[in-house]
Structure 1
Amino acid sequence: MKVPPPIPTPSQAKLQRICPPNHVFPDFDSCYNLVESPPLFCKLTRLFKKPAQTPKAHLFRAHGPRRVKKAVAIGVHGFFPMRFVRTVLGEPTGTSVRFAQSAAAAIKRWAEQNGIEIEVETVALEGEGKVADRVEMLWKLLEKWMDHVKNADFVMIGAHSQGVVVGLQLLARMIEQGWVDSARVGVAAMAGINLGPFYHLPTSILTGSAKELFEFQRPESAVSKKYIQALRVVLAHDVRIVFVGSIDDQLVPLESSTFTNIHHPYIYRAVFVDGRVHAPNFLSHLVGFAMKLRNLGISDHGLIRQLSTPLAGSLYGGEGHSRIYDDDRVYDLTVRHALETTDSPGVPLRVDSFELPTTNNNPFFLPWAMRGLLEEHLVRTKLEQEKNNLLQQFDDWKPTSKVLKDVKFRLEGINQTRPKL
């Protein structure tokens, strides 16, 4: 069932008339087809013999929504200690309440649209420090809500930036402690520093405890290894995660916020497009298309990695890192991904090697990645119309910045992939 967008309040409607609308790509329904019902013969066979389960590379939409009666919405804020960075990115404290309330509102919208009565409890976890320190600190706060979590049918975590790492490690501990044995769990991982911040940022920008964020750029670091272990725990427990990044994030590259080097069917990747900065043009649709392929279990051939640096927002005037958590679509997507998808048990998390890009990155990597993406069998068959639309949008795309003009120049070769008329 496709969930209609929430009806805006009069003040929100007025703001929408002033500001261009935001977007979250790709659309949930475009990524997952309805699961096919097995033939009658197969149903009868299953009564006598349990068939072997083959792990699926991606999920399907279930025929009906999951029935839930009690839910808990948990918010975990990010962490930026320097006064300068707080001025640019916004204060982290207080956002946990916003995340929890936004997650709860999304759950209630979904329940109302599906004719379900549900009770939702909100939990805001606040406290600053390094990741391990925050996990211990917030765990003590979370223990006060243990009974609510244990009695819930659905647990949703809304986390941002460094809070994504913290929230997923808290969730791994909840699973290991037996708090969420039978509950469905969904995570809105917004602009997470999964592979660290932009490599070109000077370490002087983020000092003190926040220097730890750069440790996530190294897979062999202790914090990275601990994070990956937590991810293995939560994904083995059928937790659904939406890694969503902002297309103009000034702190975290898209390849980091969408965690491009890991693979699992329970992971959904999406991009938030701030309507004030980016119109829904070729570039935003291309990024959304690459995310769609990843959601379908198909490689993007490194395209997101190649576009991450050109899409970087301005550290001095950009708002991409913080605007992402104000959009209801992010939370609605997380609820649908958690409660309207089929299971794919027994699939282990696959982690590819990761190295930071160099300052003299080979310019031919981008067109090569684009060619590989367009030559995928699914793209040339079932997604051919979307491919042709992208090629048309490329012609209409008129970038203004020097960096994006260079991106268009490097992609000019895709015209050779057009069907001959």
Structure 2
Amino acid sequence: MAADAIQKWVDDHGYTCNIEKIALEGEGRIFERVDLLWKLLLNWMEEIRNADFILFACHSQGVPVTLMLVAKLISFGCINAARVGVCAMAGVNMGPFSEYRSRWISGSAGELFEFALPYSQVSKDYEAALKTSLDFGVRISYIGSIDDQLVSLESSLFSPVTHPYIYRAVFVDGRVHAPSFVSHLVGFALKLRNLGIPDHGLIRELSSPLAGSLYSGEGHSRLYDDEAVYRLAIEFALETSNVQGSTLDIRRSHPSSQVNPYILPFAMRGLLEEEFVRRELYDETMQLLRQFDEWKPTSKVLKDVKFRLEGIRSKL
């Protein structure tokens, strides 16, 4: 599907190109997969060196594995492409939902929870690979599913990291979800993040209430079947200008087991009091207010979200 999206972009812009697809699959722990897939990539070095554009499409635990492979390719001087893009879908950048951690889960599955710990080895190696990739100019699109049942939005969007070459988007399946206040609020917050404006922790506070059902949810896997997801990553990789002198900013904190219900309204207030929001996004803020009034959540957790946000209604 990624190759089809590239072909469509090329056709739309009046170009012609040859597209080579490389399928990489492997099991095991993160570093075992990196070693295995690196050996497979060695068979394609000529194609990689001669490519004008390289797009890596990855999902779930494949996201940190892919960034480590990209960093390795860069370190060995294997990439000559003018542009490199990564379509990172529902990645376990900060691990799965912590509620699923259990002493019964070990091995490669248990290792994923170590991404939630800033000082774990996998986290440090992932952040080092991310820095290497961004310094090289790789464009990374972090795309999360709004009702992911396994990975929080904060994790799939890798909220603590900031860099001009990182783009964030949320996937909302129109077949399952009607447009609502909460989906527009998430989109509004991500628009600000993509403009370099902080979201004041709003995505983090919304991550838990938006979690899908572990038993019937499909949000974690539904997004990679939509061509628009790949198209977005391609456009960000090929249609953005270079930025000189930017550095990767990572602000992670240790995960807390306690939930503070008072943070959400203050996060929302901080978002709305940003100078850019008040000056440039007044109409969108008014639209959010109308959607908030019309929003009729049915689940207990989303009713609680609406109750907590009632306090800042006057600010809206």
Q: Percent identity?
A: 59
Contact 1:191 1:252 in 2 (8 A): yes
Which residue of the partner structure matches residue 79 of structure 2? 180
Secondary structure at the counterpart of residue 245 of structure 1: strand
> How far apart, in 1, do the equivalents of 2:245 and 2:104 lie?
42
> How far apart, in 2, do the equivalents of 1:240 and 1:384 lie?
30
Instruction: Please list the CA deviations of residues 11-69 of structure 1 after superposition, one character each: whole Å capped at 9, or x if unmatched.
Output: xxxxxxxxxxxxxxxxxxxxxxxxxxxxxxxxxxxxxxxxxxxxxxxxxxxxxxxxxxx
> How far apart, in 2, do the equivalents of 1:204 and 1:242 lie?
33
Which residue of the partner structure matches residue 282 of structure 2? 384
Aligned: 1:107 with 2:6: yes
> How far apart, in 1, do the equivalents of 2:221 and 2:235 lie?
23
CA drift of 1:336 comes to 0.2
CA drift of 1:205 comes to 6.6
> How far apart, in 2, do the equivalents of 1:140 and 1:157 lie?
17
2:30 equivalent among 102, 106, 131: 131
Which residue of the partner structure matches residue 308 of structure 1? 207
Which residue of the partner structure matches residue 365 of structure 1? 263
Q: Alignment RMSD, CA only?
A: 1.1
CA drift of 1:353 comes to 2.3
> How far apart, in 1, do the equivalents of 2:270 and 2:176 lie?
29
Which residue of the partner structure matches residue 41 of structure 1? none
Aligned: 1:202 with 2:101: yes
1:244 equivalent among 119, 135, 143: 143
> How far apart, in 2, do the equivalents of 1:414 and 1:223 lie?
39
Contact 2:10 2:17 in 1 (8 A): yes
Which residue of the partner structure matches residue 11 of structure 1? none
Which residue of the partner structure matches residue 405 of structure 1? 303
CA drift of 1:204 comes to 5.1
Instruction: Please list the CA deviations of residues 90-114 of structure 1 after superposition, one character each: whole Å capped at 9, or x if unmatched.
Output: xxxxxxxxxxxx1111111100000
Instruction: Please list the CA deviations of residues 260-284 of structure 1 after superposition, one character each: whole Å capped at 9, or x if unmatched.
Output: 0011010001111122332111100
Alignment of 1:161-310 (within 5 A): 161-203=60-102, 206-310=105-209
Secondary structure at the counterpart of residue 312 of structure 1: coil
Evaluate the alpha carbon distance shift between residue 205 and residue 325 of structure 1 in structure 2; reply closer, same or farther with a 3 A threshold.
Answer: farther
Which residue of the partner structure matches residue 340 of structure 1? 239
> How far apart, in 2, do the equivalents of 1:209 and 1:150 lie?
32
Structure 1 unaligned regions, length at least 5: 1-101
> How far apart, in 2, do the equivalents of 1:205 and 1:295 lie?
39
CA drift of 1:356 comes to 1.5
The residue type equivalent to 1:237 in the other structure is F
> How far apart, in 2, do the equivalents of 1:271 and 1:283 lie?
12
Instruction: Please list the CA deviations of residues 348-393 of structure 1 after superposition, one character each: whole Å capped at 9, or x if unmatched.
Output: 11110222232x4111100000001011111111111111111111
> How far apart, in 2, do the equivalents of 1:316 and 1:114 lie?
43
> How far apart, in 1, do the equivalents of 2:309 and 2:26 lie?
45
> How far apart, in 1, do the equivalents of 2:104 and 2:60 lie?
16
Q: TM-score, normalised by structure 1?
A: 0.74
Contact 1:247 1:311 in 2 (8 A): yes
Q: Highest Rg: 1 or 2?
A: 1
> How far apart, in 2, do the equivalents of 1:252 and 1:333 lie?
21
Structure 2 unaligned regions, length at least 5: none
Secondary structure at the counterpart of residue 120 of structure 1: coil
Which residue of the partner structure matches residue 58 of structure 2? 159
Which residue of the partner structure matches residue 294 of structure 2? 396
> How far apart, in 1, do the equivalents of 2:101 and 2:123 lie?
20
Contact 2:29 2:107 in 1 (8 A): no
Contact 2:152 2:207 in 1 (8 A): yes
Which residue of the partner structure matches residue 116 of structure 1? 15
> How far apart, in 2, do the equivalents of 1:119 and 1:179 lie?
19
Secondary structure at the counterpart of residue 140 of structure 2: strand
> How far apart, in 1, do the equivalents of 2:100 and 2:285 lie?
35
The residue type equivalent to 2:9 in the other structure is W
> How far apart, in 2, do the equivalents of 1:240 and 1:387 lie?
29
